[in-house]
Amino acid sequence: MIPNNTGSAGSRHSARRFSVSGRVQGVWFRDSTRREAERLGITGHAINLDNGDVEVFACGSEEALDALYRWLLHGPPLADVSAVEQSPAQHEALHGFRIG
């Protein structure tokens, strides 16, 4: 696992990359993910992949990343998530959460 970084407030931060499969494009998945990430205090981005998946890169506390993972398992109401893969990633100092 990639070591955690300490944020300015002394909280432990790390990063994860999530790959979400299923009916996750055209169902407001990325925008809903952005709203959930902002609610959890997570920075990063969500992008559509050519294979129909959505990739989410997220930086935040371990607790917030765990909560985002649990949310990604079902996503917004119109989504039909079949799988979520997660892997550790290198933490980046990002501002906000964007969709692409």
Domains in the chain: ranges and CATH: 12-90 (3.30.70.100)
**Secondary structure of the chain in HEC code, one letter for each residue:** CCCCEECCCCCEEEEEEEEEEEECCCCCHHHHHHHHHHHHCCEEEEEECCCCCEEEEEEECHHHHHHHHHHHCCCCCCCEEEEEEEEEECCCCCCCEEEC
Please count the CA atoms within 13 angstroms of the CA of 78 that sit on its side-chain side. Answer: 10
| Predicted confidence (pLDDT) per residue in 8-58, tens digit | 444 678 999 999 999 999 999 999 999 999 999 999 999 999 999 999 999
Give 56-90 pLDDT, tens digit per residue: 999 999 999 999 999 999 999 999 999 999 999 99
The residues annotated with a catalytic role in the active site are 30, 48
